[in-house]
């Protein structure tokens, strides 16, 4: 890993540190081995010589098709944190796209195999622009990189590991949408969100699309095992029905019961519009959003966005927690439920330019009543 004099702090260093984290998780293989892995993959967008691999690890940013091939094989050979390589590629691409000097076909060095020495993967950097300065490539002595010892390298690895840990947590919430074991994925997400105090211990509510009803998602740990309950509720928290998702029940059957519950409550919108999976998708998105807001303590949101009961998408959006109402576009501003009778909050918030304040205050009063009843 280059030191800060060679590669100053910023988006480029963050990108290279992330690649080094992948490289470390793959067991720090030789650059020749990595190049061979890339060559053995028929479905990758490009190849990369061992010198090209070394250049990237030393801090040189390649075109995306070259970097994508490197990232994919490193992710595919990881010994820990077995995320889907495609998710890893997507994450690294976001870091690459954030660079101020993203390489283009006209400016990026292209690491290609020499036709006469393809088996050995000897490569030369070729610039499409004649005036571009040729960056020096590492010698063959750099084929194997030692364990990081410099303080800056250790720092970069630690920070990259923290980013991976955060991404792993976000993936728990995203798996609600992608896992074939959707019941278990929901339970995992709700348990993690409760333990991290992202949502209320009483569960979290999501509005049934275009109605005045809500699904409350609750995960329980009982002597009989892990249980998942989805309650259909009115705005004021009155329970209309309970749907327990048993382990042996197929997802389609369970969601069909949620459709039936909305119909029985007289809120069915008609053909094709009673879709409980839409609420589950918004649940996943909300959990990811809350986790991101709470990720860094110094931002201050960890003290306000905690134990969320629901997010109401009225006006600019509002979070309702166990203790306060919070505007989504300014999570540091909180209106404690204990202060709701102090002033005319509806007018006060309207004067601040927050639309939907009247409905948000009304919901806050209902949430406060449901929590104290």
Render pLDDT for 142-174 as a digit per residue (tens, 0 to 9): 444 444 456 777 777 788 888 888 888 999 999
What is the per-residue pLDDT for 276? Answer: 96
Output the pTM of the full model: 0.64
The closest of 68, 85, 88 to 76, measured between CA atoms, is 85
Q: How far is CA 48 from CA 8, 64, 93, 141, 207, in A?
A: 25, 11, 17, 18, 49
What is the per-residue pLDDT for 80? Answer: 59
What is the per-residue pLDDT for 246? Answer: 93
pLDDT in tens, 101-123: 665 544 444 444 433 333 333 33
What is the per-residue pLDDT for 192? Answer: 96
What is the per-residue pLDDT for 102? Answer: 61
What is the per-residue pLDDT for 97? Answer: 84
Cβ atoms within 10 A of the Cβ of 297, count? 9
Distance of CA 189 to the CA centre of its chain: 13
Q: Which residues, given as ranges, of the chain have pLDDT below 70?
A: 79-83, 101-150, 373
Contacts of 144 (CB under 8 A, 6+ apart): 28, 30, 31
What is the per-residue pLDDT for 307? Answer: 96
What is the per-residue pLDDT for 117? Answer: 38
What is the per-residue pLDDT for 133? Answer: 41
Distance (Å, whole) CA 66 – CA 110 = 8
């Amino acid at each position: 890993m280059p030191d800060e004099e060679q590669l100053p702090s910023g988006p480029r260093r963050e990108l290279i540190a992330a690649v080094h984290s992948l490289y470390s998780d793959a067991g720090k293989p030789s650059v020749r081995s990595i190049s061979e892995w890339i060559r053995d993959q028929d479905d990758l967008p490009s190849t990369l010589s061992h010198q090209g691999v070394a250049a990237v690890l030393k801090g040189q940013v390649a075109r995306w098709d070259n970097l994508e091939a490197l990232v994919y094989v490193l992710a595919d050979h990881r010994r820990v944190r077995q995320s889907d390589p495609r998710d890893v590629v997507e994450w690294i691409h976001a870091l690459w796209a954030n660079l101020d000097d993203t390489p283009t076909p006209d400016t990026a060095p292209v690491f290609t195999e020499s036709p006469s020495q393809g088996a050995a993967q000897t490569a030369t950097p070729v610039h499409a622009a004649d005036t571009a300065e040729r960056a020096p490539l590492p010698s063959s002595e750099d084929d194997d990189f030692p364990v990081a010892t410099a303080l800056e390298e250790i720092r970069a690895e630690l920070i990259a590991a923290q980013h991976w840990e955060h991404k792993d947590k976000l993936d728990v919430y995203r798996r609600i949408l992608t896992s074939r074991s959707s019941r278990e994925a929901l339970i995992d997400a709700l348990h993690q969100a409760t333990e991290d105090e992202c949502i209320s211990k009483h569960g979290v509510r999501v509005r049934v699309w275009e109605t005045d009803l809500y699904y409350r998602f609750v995960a329980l740990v009982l002597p009989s095992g892990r249980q998942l309950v989805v309650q259909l509720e009115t705005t004021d928290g009155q329970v209309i029905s309970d749907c327990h998702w048993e382990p042996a029940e197929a997802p389609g059957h369970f969601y069909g019961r949620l459709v039936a519950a909305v119909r029985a409550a007289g809120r069915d919108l008609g053909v094709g519009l009673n879709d409980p999976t839409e609420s589950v998708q918004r649940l996943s998105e909300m959990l990811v959003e809350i986790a991101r807001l709470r990720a860094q303590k110094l931002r201050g949101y960890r003290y306000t966005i905690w134990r969320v009961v629901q997010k109401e998408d009225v006006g600019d959006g509002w979070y309702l927690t166990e203790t306060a109402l919070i505007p989504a576009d300014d999570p540091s501003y909180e209106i404690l439920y204990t202060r709701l009778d102090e002033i005319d909050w509806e007018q006060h918030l309207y004067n601040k330019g927050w639309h939907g304040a009247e409905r948000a205050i009304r919901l806050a009063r209902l949430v406060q009543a449901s929590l104290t009843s």
